[in-house]
Amino acid sequence: MRTAITLVILVFSGTGGDIAVAYAMKRLGEVHSFSPMAILRFLGRAFREGWMWIGIAQLTLAFCSLLALLSWEAVSFVVPAMALSYVTGALGGKYFLGERLTPLRWAGVGLVSVGVALVCLG
């Protein structure tokens, strides 16, 4: 039971962190200059963005969950099961970030889902 709960925490906190960081980066805009001062200014703006900190916290939780899972289960189970984040990432991108997903991308998400199911059954 602890494996299933930790896997759910890993998948959702990892996806939530990715979405929060992506949202923060969309709010910040593109980096137009790669001079050291421009990068430092951009980093200063990024670390004042609340969504960036939410994303960092969630990604930290995901990493800690990954470490816990790897201490309990075989890597041959954990890494493929983590692929569920592709499914939650696609859904999160569509519903929270307003991204458009093509049928080919949905087919890829379906293939990943089938692969995860096969790993969990075996």
Please state the domain count of the chain: 1
CA distance 57 to 17: 7
Range of the domain at 110: 2-121
- Written as six digits, the tokens of 118 are 């096969």
Whose structure tokens read 């995901």? 62
Q: Half-sphere exposure of residue 63, counting CA atoms within 13 Å on the CB side?
A: 8
Rounded to 10°, the helix 75-82/84-95 angle is 20
pLDDT at 120 over 80: no
Q: Which stretch of DSSP H or E encloses residue 12?
A: helix 2-28
Condensed to tens digits (0 to 9), the pLDDT of residues 99-115 reads 998 999 999 989 988 88
Write the pLDDT tens digit of every residue in 28-41: 888 888 899 989 99
The segment with the largest mean pLDDT, out of 40-44, 45-49, 53-57, is: 53-57
d(CA 80, CA 78): 6
